[in-house]
């Protein structure tokens, strides 16, 4: 009985992000970090963010879970996911070296009519592979279940990057920790994806 109740709560929580907040961008629901309630950021922290931020072990476990999430989101047509703490989109990019299509589940938010992705790589010393894929092949796709479309990616810098990264920390508390972890090593890229 309790499992059924928790399953229902989980499904309603996942569907929250699938309901149009104020329209969508090529099928991707708008997410405004400024309007996000503080309790949601706290929930994200306690539902997995704290575990990932705990160190290399938590990060290693989460890296193994991430490929499953892309499959789960596709198989459930966007109704289920593992990460319940932040809105998730599936990025389909073309491999920089392989030329193969790659699916990566990522936290995202929107800014105007663009989708914003943060190349944090869990605060690692290198940029994530998907970042290099977008640099080499900016044309990509974003999907949440059956909804989605084609986008073109570009890296932002300067004041716009600082503003967007500040918004990202309101969405996912770990981004502030990732900045500390990469200080003096690399600047975490911010990617703006515009509908094609």
Domain layout of the chain by residue ranges: 2-195
Mean pLDDT by 10 residues, the chain (196 residues): 52 45 81 75 56 54 66 66 74 95 92 96 91 98 91 98 94 86 95 97
Neighbours of 181 (CB within 10 A): 18
Of the options 2.30.110.10, 1.10.10.10, 1.10.490.20, 2.70.70.10, the CATH number for the domain spanning 2-195: 2.30.110.10
Please give the pLDDT value at position 64.
67
Number of C-alpha atoms within 13 angstroms, CB side, residue 8?
5
Assigned token pair, 127 = 């940029």
């Amino acid at each position: 009985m309790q499992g059924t109740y928790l399953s229902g709560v989980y499904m309603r929580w996942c569907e929250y992000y699938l309901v149009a907040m104020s329209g969508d961008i090529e099928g991707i629901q708008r997410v405004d970090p400024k309007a996000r309630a503080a309790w949601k950021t706290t929930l994200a922290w306690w539902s997995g963010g704290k575990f990932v931020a705990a160190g290399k072990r938590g990060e290693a476990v989460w890296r193994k879970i991430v490929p499953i999430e892309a499959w789960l989101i596709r198989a459930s047509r966007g109704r289920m996911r593992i990460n319940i703490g932040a809105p998730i989109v599936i990025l389909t990019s073309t491999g920089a070296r392989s030329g193969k299509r790659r699916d990566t589940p990522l936290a995202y938010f929107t800014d105007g009519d663009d989708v914003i992705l943060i190349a944090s790589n869990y605060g690692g010393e290198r940029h994530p592979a998907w970042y290099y894929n977008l640099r080499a092949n900016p044309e990509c796709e974003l999907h949440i279940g059956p909804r989605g479309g084609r986008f073109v990616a570009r890296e932002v810098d300067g004041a716009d990057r600082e503003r967007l990264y500040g918004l990202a920390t309101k969405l996912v508390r770990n981004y502030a920790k990732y900045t500390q972890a990469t200080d003096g090593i690399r600047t975490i890229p911010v990617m703006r994806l515009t509908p094609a």
